[in-house]
Amino acid sequence: MKQTPFYHYDLELLDRTLQAIKAAIGSHSNYHVHYAIKANANPMVLERICKAGFGVDCVSGGEVDAALKAGFAPEKIVFAGVGKADWEIELALKAGIFCFNVESEPELEVISQMASEMGKQATIALRVNPNVDAHTHANITTGLAENKFGINIELLPALVKRAQSMPGIKLDGLHFHIGSQILQMDVFETLAYRINQLLDQLSLEGFRPTHINVGGGLGIDYENPEENPIPDFAGYFETLSKHLNLGAGQQLHSELGRSVVAQCGRLITKVLYVKKGTVKQFVIVDAGMTDLVRPAMYGSHHKIVNISSTGPEEKYDVVGPICESSDVFDKDIMLAETHRGDYLAILSAGAYGEIMASQYNLRKLPGSSSTLE
Ligand code: LLP
C-alpha cells in the first residue's frame, strides 16, 4: 500500500462517467459541458476529462492556469467568480477564453476597460441570481436573492443595456447556478421555467442570448455509492431539454463538477489506534479534516469501509488526529472488526476532497494515485 493518507482514483470509472455524460447529451450538438475544475484539479483526472473533449469552468486565475496547462482549449474555458482580480482578468483575456461569467456592474466596467486597452472584446455572460431554492445545504446554496452571487433578476434588463453599449464587451449569454448536490430534478425544472420567463422578457426588449449556461449542481448518491456509481445524467439533461425553451441557434452550457468526479475518488487511510472508551469505540486514522474537510465543514456523510478486515461488524466513531473536536469522519457506524494497521476507504471523495485539503497542524498534503500499490 502507498503512503497514507492518499486519494485513490478509479480512472476507469471516471471514463465510464464521462461516456455516460456524452450518452445523455446524445444528439444535442448545441449542448456543451464545462467541467467545474474547482471540484478536483488532480492532473490525472484533468487529463481524462480533457481527452474526452469537455470544456472547463474556472473560478480563479490559478484554475485558468491549471486548465491551460492540462491542455484544455482556451475557447472551451469559462471564467466565473464574484471577485475576479485584475491579474486574473488579464490572464484570461490574454489566453482568449470563451467567456467571462460576470457578476456585477463594476466588474463589467473593469473587464470592458481592460479588454479595450488590449484592443480586444471580451465575450461575456451575465450571471443572474434567479432566486430559486435548490433545497440543499445552506452553505452550498447560491441562487437565492440573499446570496452574494450573480445579478438580481430585477436589475438585469438595465445591465443588459449597459453591457451592450460597452466597447470592450460582447454580450453573448446568460449564466445561472443555483447550488450544489441537487438530487431533485424539479429544482432544475423550476430553474428552466425561470430562465424561459426571463428570455421572453428580454426578447421583448430586443436581447436574445446565444448561450444559456445553467451552471452545475447535479448531486450524487453518497449513501449507496457502490450501487449508484454514475449519477443521473440522463434525467438531468432530459429535464433541461424538456423544460428549457431554446430557440434556433441557441446553445445550452453546463458546469458539472461533483457529478463528474465524486464517485471515482476515495480517501485511503490507515488505522493508527482503536481506542475503547466507556461509551464509544474510536477508530483513530491517519487522515484528518485537513485531508477531507467535508464532514467537518458541512456535516456531510461519506460511506466508510474497512478494506483490510472481513471480521464481524462492530460500532465505531471514525476520527482523525487533528486537534479539533470537529475532526470526525463519522459517528456510530458499523465497520468490520477493526485493528491497528487496517486500511479504511472513505468513499465518494473525488469531488471537493483533495482540492480542499489544507496543511493545518503543519500536516503534509495527501498524496494521490490510480493504484493501491
Ligand atoms: N458553477 C458554479 C458557478 C459553481 O459555483 C459551482 C460550484 C459549480 C458550477 C459546480 O457545481 P457542482 O456541479 O459541483 O455542484 N465544496 C462544496 C461544494 C461547493 C460548490 C461551489 N460551487 C462541497 O464540498 O459540497
The per-residue DSSP string of 28-71 comes to -TTEEEEEEGGG---HHHHHHHHHTT-EEEESSHHHHHHHHHTT
DSSP state of 356: G
Q: Cell 467535508 belongs to which residue?
A: 294
Report which of 27, 75, 21 is spatially closest to residue 48, judged by C-alpha positions: 21
**Averaged pLDDT of the chain:** 95
Taken in order 55, 255, 185, 260, is the CA torsion positive or negative? positive
Ligand 1 centre from 283 Cα, in Å?
31
Cα–Cα dist 42/67, whole Å: 11
Cα 177 to ligand 1 centre (Å): 9
Alpha-carbon Rg for the chain, nearest whole angstrom, is: 22
What pLDDT is stored for residue 142 in this prediction?
62
Helices 11-25 and 233-243, packing angle to 10 deg: 20
Sequence-distant (≥ 6) Cβ neighbours of residue 64 within 8 angstroms? 58, 77, 79, 88, 91, 92, 95, 97
pTM tops 0.85, yes or no: yes
Would you say residue 144 has pLDDT above 70?
Answer: no
Nearest CA to ligand 1 atom 23: 352
- Does residue 339 register a pLDDT over 70? yes
pLDDT digits (tens, 9 = 90+) for 120-130: 999 999 999 88
135 pLDDT more than 90: no
Which atom of ligand 1 is closest in space to residue 81's alpha carbon? 3
Give residue-wise pLDDT tens across range 231-277: 999 999 999 999 999 999 999 999 999 999 999 999 999 999 999 98
pLDDT value at position 149? 78
pLDDT value, residue 57: 98
Burial class of residue 193 in the structure, from the number of CB atoms within 10 Å of its CB (0-12 exposed, 13-18 middle, 19+ buried): middle
* Spacing, Cα 181 to ligand 1 middle (Å): 8
Q: Are 176 and 191 in contact (CB under 8 A)?
A: yes
DSSP 179: B
Among 34, 35, 37, 38, say which to mutate for ligand 1: greatest number of ligand atoms within 8 Å of CB.
38
- Which of 147-156, 191-200, 248-257, 295-304 is predicted least confidently? 147-156
Q: Which tens digit of pLDDT belongs to each residue from 85-131?
A: 999 999 999 999 999 999 999 999 999 999 999 999 999 999 998 88
Could you tell me the sign of the dihedral formed by the alpha carbons of 150, 154, 158, 161, in that order?
A: positive
Residue 161 pLDDT greater than 80, yes or no: yes
Q: What percent of the chain has pLDDT over 90?
A: 91
DSSP letter at 140 equals G
- Percent residues over pLDDT 70 in the chain: 97
Q: For residue 217, report the distance from its CA to the centre of ligand 1, in Å.
A: 6
- How do residues 269-317 score in pLDDT, each as one tens digit? 999 999 998 999 999 999 999 999 999 999 999 999 999 999 999 999 9
Residue 143 has pLDDT above 60, yes or no: no
| Confidence at 145, pLDDT banded by 50, 70, 90 | low
- Higher per-residue pLDDT: 72 or 373: 72
Are 251 and 4 within 8 A, CB to CB? no
Report the pLDDT value the prediction gives residue 34, as an integer from 0 to 100: 98
Instruction: Give the confidence band of 132 by pLDDT, cuts at 50, 70, 90.
Output: confident
Ligand 1 site residues, Cβ closer than 6 angstroms: 36, 39, 57, 80, 140, 142, 177, 180-181, 215-218, 255-259, 294, 298, 352
Mean pLDDT value across residues 197-220: 96
